[in-house]
């Protein structure tokens, strides 16, 4: 099971929402993994121009505006692929049969259309949308919380 995409969004919500720089150790504690896994993810996000290391203070800072950082960009950065791949073609259609000979482009076309729709949805959902959904979840589940989102992230990550 590949959960890099999911873990990367979690890490980016933390980084975008925290009011102090977070280390890979603090991020790993929240994501529920080890710091070296987080460093691999942040390395990929840095390569893609999404994150930078903070010089001197340590931790990471977001180079992209959360409202302009699409989940599709995050997906491509951490998965190292150009698109979402969902459906595999069978390997040995028989070229001696007219259907076997022409099935590949037909299936590639219809599968690609469906995958492109998923890409479109990810391309139109931003990190800011995820942060907004998280605020809604927090407001709904933890009524009366007076702490700002950012202060609580930093506080929890420190414990």
Residues that bind its own copies (CB under 8 A): 1-3, 5-7, 9-10, 13-14, 17, 29-33, 71, 84, 86-94, 96-100, 102-103, 105-107, 109-111, 113-122, 125, 129-130, 133-134, 137-138, 141-142, 149, 152-153, 156-157, 159
Write the CB contacts of 61 (distance below 8 Å, at least 6 apart in sequence). 15, 21, 51, 52, 53, 54
Instruction: Residue 83: name the closest of 57, 121, 46 by CA.
Output: 121
Closest separation in Å from C-beta 102 to its own copies: 4
Tokens, residue 139: 């407001």
Closest separation in Å from C-beta 83 to its own copies: 12
147 dihedral zone (left: phi>0; alpha: psi -120 to 50; beta): beta
Closest separation in Å from C-beta 136 to its own copies: 9
Question: In DSSP terms, which residues pair with 51 in a beta bridge?
Answer: 62
User: Quick one: 55 or 91, whose CB is closer to its own copies?
Assistant: 91
For CA atoms 147, 34, 72, 84, the dihedral sign is: negative
Closest separation in Å from C-beta 147 to its own copies: 8
User: Quick one: 55 or 96, whose CB is closer to its own copies?
Assistant: 96
């Amino acid at each position: 099971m590949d959960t890099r995409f999911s873990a990367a969004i979690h890490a980016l919500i933390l980084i975008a929402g925290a009011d102090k720089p977070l280390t890979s150790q603090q991020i790993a504690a929240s994501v529920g993994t080890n710091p070296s896994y987080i460093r691999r993810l942040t390395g990929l996000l840095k390569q893609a121009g999404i994150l930078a290391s903070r010089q001197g203070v340590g931790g990471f800072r977001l180079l992209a505006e959360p409202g302009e950082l699409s989940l599709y960009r995050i997906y491509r950065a951490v998965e190292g692929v150009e698109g979402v791949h969902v459906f595999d073609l069978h390997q040995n259609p028989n070229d001696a049969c007219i259907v076997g000979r022409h099935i590949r482009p037909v299936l590639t076309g219809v599968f690609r259309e469906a995958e492109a729709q998923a890409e479109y949805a990810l391309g139109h959902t931003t990190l800011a949308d995820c942060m907004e959904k998280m605020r809604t979840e927090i407001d709904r589940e933890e009524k009366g919380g007076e702490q700002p989102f950012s202060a609580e992230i930093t506080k929890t990550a420190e414990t």
